[in-house]
Structure 1
Amino acid sequence: MTGKSLKLALRTGLLTSTCLFAVPASAQDADVEQRLERLEALVMQLVERLDAKDGEMDAARAETVAATQQALAETRALQLRQEELAAQIDEPKKQEDKGFRVGNTTVSYAGYVKLDAISQRTSGGQVASGSIVRDFLIPGAIPVGGDGSGWDTDFNARQSRFIFKTATDVGAEHTLNSQIELDFMVTPDGDERVSNSYTPRLRQAFITYDNWLFGQAWTTFQNVGALPESLDFIGTTPGTIFARQPMIRYTDGGLMLAVEQPETTVTSSTGARVIAGDDSLPELVARYNFSGDWGSLSASGILRNLKISEDDFGTDGDSAMGYGVSLSGKLKLGERDDFRFMGTVGDGLGRYIGLNIVNDAALDLDGELDPIFTYSGFGAYRHMWSDKVRSNIAASYFKADNPVLLTSGAVTDESWNVLANIIYSPVEPVDIGIEYMYAERTLENGQSGNLQKIQVSTKYSF
């Protein structure tokens, strides 16, 4: 019997007894009444004790429930921490599989070796031997206005890449990593006569501490994950944001905030490019990444302060605001196919688009900067024919709103390209492919030139 049941029985019995002896038959019943009063007092004392006991039991229950909830919370927190530690340990472990450990630091490496065999022709002029325009597509350098060339063939392994990584154990509360990346593109000292010896160049070099990145990396404005798979170095170059530069970046989940290296490029009245080098404020970049079973999306924005000083053009100097927004992503189509895209629009974005197809700004008659408005984008579809064979088709476009009275008609008005390839992987680390590309460039004065390219590549990733 519970305390509550016992108390109810006692109270019921007391009430019954009171009713029975409420009216005594005679004076001799006084003793009975006194006994009844003593009985009532005893019952009330017992009820009070039971009430107190119930209070103690309720307090004990509440304390037990609170302790249980706290224990569950601590257990869950410990479980989450163990999962975080497992994730922190997993990446260095993956790196250790390709490297070695020195003290508290895991040293690892990655990269690839790639051979490119390229044959291309241009309709508007001959590209000189040894020019980087013969290595990969640079839209702003497609010859215009000259005589067409024949098919020029070059072999090179310059895109081969080496990535050196470290991960240092600094305790469970923090993560500390670094990366240095090298290749041999766009560097001097090589030749096609004897040795083809090219100088290594720095691509990326950064450290990461918890949510922070310090060093040179892909601009936060660019979503590298949206780039299509091409044999050409970039592929959809006219419609692609492309820049690597020093920065300080903070990442929290999908949010990325960065201050990055500034640089202003200006078109003079003759159409020539002038790199002022007078920037005083960093580029401000924000980006947010979304992902799910459907794929991934990135939305980014940039704010720039374009600047020149009095010694650049013999003027008093000037500054202007540049800005831009970009939406890009990779959407899954079926089990293995995907569609990749990027769209970018803004004022004063020149050096960020298509390997600086046009400049950030032009100089007006008063010596002031006039930012150049541009818009660009690309779309690419990848189809998996089988586990070992896949194809990509892609197209991109760029358009500039040049102030022609200030830049002359010799600057690029628009550029576009299309490409298609098929890639075979006999084993997982090896890709063998062939790609056809057509690209075109048109100037503000109406002159145009095109480039056709056939490329065969073999790449071994490690």
Structure 2
Amino acid sequence: GGDGIFNRINKVDLENNEKNSDRFYSTATVTRFGLDFKAPVQGADVGGKLEVDFRGGSSNDTIRIRHAYVTYNDWLFGQTTSTFLATDVQPEMLDFNSPLGIGTYRTPMVRYSTKLNPTTTYAVALEKGNDDNRAPALTTKLKYDFAEGKGTTSARTLLTEARSKESFANDDKQLSANESALGWGVAIGAKYKFTDSLQAMIDYSHVKGDSKFLLYTNNAFNVNPNNFDLNLNEFDAVTVGTTYQITPKVRSTLAYGAMFANDSNDFAQQAFADTAQNKTLQQGWWNVMYSPVSPITFGLEYVYGERKTFNGQKGKDNRVGAMARYNF
């Protein structure tokens, strides 16, 4: 499959070019430490979060900031998971890179969120997108809890800039393309607990012209070398899964994720020979988590995935992962 310990479904080896097989990886760099605080200060609710792990840098062994923000009443300033995402409705996965079909993007932002009523919350944020963008991304989320806390659902939107600063050689001249277009996305997800032991979750996104917020997607765009217009990538992403609490100490998750790119637009036509871009990605996983005592969890997981490029080449991913975790 992919060259690395964690999920890289979009980059797994293509058939007849397999380089990564029969490999063993292990790491402790996913260890993370965090601090959460909240207190009333002079009549205001003040809080914050700081969380780091050791997956930073090219060698993946330096400290990386995951979350770092302060809150003041309904306002948040700092870095945390994008408002366009809903990690609370994604199926559990042992793999640290997270499953196909969802996002975990953490980015600097300014966010305002408030309760519309006891079961409904609303959030709107300005977030950092791609480095070349001249304006922040605008994200919103509407979340509704129902069935007396057994279920939750959320609807989200995204507006972001897609901007190119590429250079091209044309008639022995070096030309610069400084074009931009509007990228956007919509998403909806839900989770429902049918019984004390069984719950299911689903999340769906449709995105055009962005590659930051969801995992394992194609480039946000490619550039037409004749007129420098941006050809925006457009795709659908979905995850669906179920978790069953077998015993008080053992639970299991079975899930599926997929990405389906538009294969009839200008982006797909220009990316036909680019094997780094994918027409479809699909992935299924099954895991078992065992907690002999509450702070300790042992996990075992099998992942199978496939990718298909726009010109029909295919690649397969087969991985088994194991984990030992101590929460304190």
Tell me if TM exceeds 0.5: yes
Among 80, 88, 95, the residue aligned to 1:217 = 80
Structure 2 matches for 1:34-433, cutoff 5 A?
A: 122=1, 133-145=3-15, 146-147=17-18, 149-171=20-42, 173-189=43-59, 198-237=61-100, 239-253=101-115, 254-263=121-130, 277-292=131-146, 293=148, 294-309=150-165, 312-313=167-168, 314-355=175-216, 357-364=217-224, 365-401=226-262, 403-410=267-274, 411-433=277-299
- Of structures 1 and 2, the larger Rg is shown by 1
Are the aligned partners of 2:109 and 2:126 in contact in 1 as well (CA < 8 Å)?
yes
CA drift at 1:168:
4.6
Q: How many residues align?
A: 308
CA drift at 1:432:
0.8
1:56-96 deviations in Å (ceiling 9; x for gaps): xxxxxxxxxxxxxxxxxxxxxxxxxxxxxxxxxxxxxxxxx
State how far apart, in whole Å, the 2-side matches of 1:430 and 1:335 are. 22
Are the aligned partners of 1:249 and 1:256 in contact in 2 as well (CA < 8 Å)?
yes
Q: Which has the higher strand share?
A: 2
Q: TM-score, normalised by structure 1?
A: 0.64
Are the aligned partners of 2:36 and 2:49 in contact in 1 as well (CA < 8 Å)?
yes
Paired residue secondary structure (2:270): helix
State how far apart, in whole Å, the 2-side matches of 1:200 and 1:389 are. 32
CA drift at 1:186:
4.8
State how far apart, in whole Å, the 2-side matches of 1:235 and 1:316 are. 35
Are the aligned partners of 2:69 and 2:79 in contact in 1 as well (CA < 8 Å)?
yes
Matched with 1:448 is 314
State how far apart, in whole Å, the 1-side matches of 2:6 and 2:253 are. 18
State how far apart, in whole Å, the 1-side matches of 2:56 and 2:273 are. 28
1:242-277 deviations in Å (ceiling 9; x for gaps): 3110000000110000000121xxxxxxxxxxxxx4
Matched with 1:460 is 326
1:111-145 deviations in Å (ceiling 9; x for gaps): xxxxxxxxxxx3xxxx6xxxxx4221022221224
CA drift at 1:404:
3.2
Paired residue secondary structure (2:273): coil
State how far apart, in whole Å, the 1-side matches of 2:87 and 2:93 are. 13
CA drift at 1:156:
1.1
Quote the sequence identity (%). 25
Are the aligned partners of 2:177 and 2:228 in contact in 1 as well (CA < 8 Å)?
yes
Are the aligned partners of 1:231 and 1:434 in contact in 2 as well (CA < 8 Å)?
yes
Matched AA of 2:318: Q
Are the aligned partners of 2:32 and 2:52 in contact in 1 as well (CA < 8 Å)?
yes
Matched AA of 1:332: K
CA drift at 1:399:
1.2
Range with greater deviation from structure 2 (359-368 or 396-405): 396-405
Are the aligned partners of 1:235 and 1:419 in contact in 2 as well (CA < 8 Å)?
no
Matched AA of 1:174: A
Are the aligned partners of 1:324 and 1:345 in contact in 2 as well (CA < 8 Å)?
yes
Matched with 2:118 is none
- Pick closer, same or farther for the CA change 1:308–1:235 going to 2, 3 Å: closer
Are the aligned partners of 2:190 and 2:201 in contact in 1 as well (CA < 8 Å)?
yes
Matched with 2:171 is none
1:259-300 deviations in Å (ceiling 9; x for gaps): 00121xxxxxxxxxxxxx431111011110000223100100
Q: Which has the higher helix share?
A: 1
* Unaligned segments of structure 2, at least 5 residues: 116-120, 169-174
State how far apart, in whole Å, the 1-side matches of 2:207 and 2:20 are. 36
Paired residue secondary structure (1:200): strand
Matched with 2:304 is 438
- Give 4+ residue runs of structure 1 displaced > 4 Å after superposition: none
State how far apart, in whole Å, the 1-side matches of 2:295 and 2:185 are. 38
